[in-house]
Amino acid sequence: MKTSAIPGFSKLSLEEKIKIIKDFANLNSDDLNLIKKYQELPDFLELENNIGPFKIATNFLVNDKDYFVPMEIEEPSVVAAASRGAKLVRSGGGFNGKYLDSKMIGQLQILDVEDFEESRKNIVKKKSEILEIANANKKIVELGGGAKDLEVREINTEKGKNLILHLIVDTLDAMGANIVNTMLEEITPFVVELTKGKPCLRIISNFADKRIVSVECKVPIQKLGIKNYTGEEVASGILNACALAKADIYRTATHNKGVMNGIDSVALATGNDWRAIEAGVHSYAARNGYLPVTDWWKEGEYLRGKIEIPMAIATIGGATNSKKARLALKILRVKSAKELGILTASVGLANNLAALSVLGTEGIQKGHMKLHKEFIKLSQNQ
């Protein structure tokens, strides 16, 4: 049975690590040659599970499936933290995640609309025709995706009243920017005819509140102990840190940044647009005042955690088709963008757990600076 829980993985030789990953993900000679190519670069550092194009986080068990997780980041401590957080969660049964919805929104901005209510009625009346025009690309429709619905909003700006049409699109395993933007441009002439207005922006929204992933986990409190701190003391530190993040924006920003350390690293490794993901997550966090994207609470003998965020991530299209990204996806063994999104959110939750467990006890600098000094030492020796 394949497992990512390899004791002492970080202490194995580079050859041993690569052999484990090769067997786990059924890598072929082309995959191994790509790894070797990166190892031959002058700035390659064999540090914290770095096997070539990216570093590897271990111990991830998500929806009862094991993963080695490729991460692309300059800080080796982030990878170590992800592996440690995943190991703690594994002791409680692993991460459990699901998508609450998986659609993207495209915005069409119409200016100078004289009769807003009449325009709204016209759009709603012709909804099926608008969706038919948007779905001219039959391929995505045949696969089960495409434009599914629309909404009409009235937005008052300093320049006047805008009619904003939201086109709601199931983009399947793609992030969706290109297909959504194309659909918006295709429907614009007809919508202009219905509203008698002037078209302006036609662009996807990165506030992907219809593409939400939710992941939960639990950790036996006794497993949280660190050196001279008991599991109860560590749990208390985590809860106090989380409470501060809910009450103080200075802490909230850093709390969420720590979550995004893991999420961005997976996005980069798999060729995804980490900037779009960042924009979506932070917008979602700010929808009711800027709040932490994770929560932790005690339940009996367990510390429970949850993350709920937009996750506009892809397994096809754009830079996900690069050789390096395809290698990352092969190592991950993911079958869909939904699976990748759930895994990526799990990495963010793992990083959050690992960071909070030391922040409230021995402090984050001890482990972080140890790896940082190793990184600097190796860099200077090249």
The one catalytic residue among 273, 282, 324, 338: 273
The one catalytic residue among 75, 132, 278, 362: 75
Q: How far is CA 114 from CA 107, 110, 189, 212, in A?
A: 20, 11, 17, 36
The one catalytic residue among 257, 335, 370, 373: 257
Coil, strand, or helix at residue 358?
helix
CA nearest to 57, candidates 44, 46, 72, 45: 72
Kindly provide the b/e burial profile for residues 200-212, where b requires at least 16 CB atoms within 10 angstroms of the residue's own CB: bebebbbbbebbb
Calculate the CA dihedral of residues 241, 244, 245, 247 and round it to 10 degrees: 170
- 282 among known catalytic residues: no
Structure tokens at 338: 């939904």
Tally: H helices and E strands in the chain: 13, 10
Cβ-in-10-Å burial (0-12, 13-18, 19+) of 248 comes to: exposed
- 330 among known catalytic residues: no
End-to-end CA distance of the chain: 40
- 257 among known catalytic residues: yes
CA nearest to 186, candidates 145, 144, 143, 146: 146
The residue type at 235: A
- 185 among known catalytic residues: no
Residues labelled as active-site residues: 75, 257, 273, 368
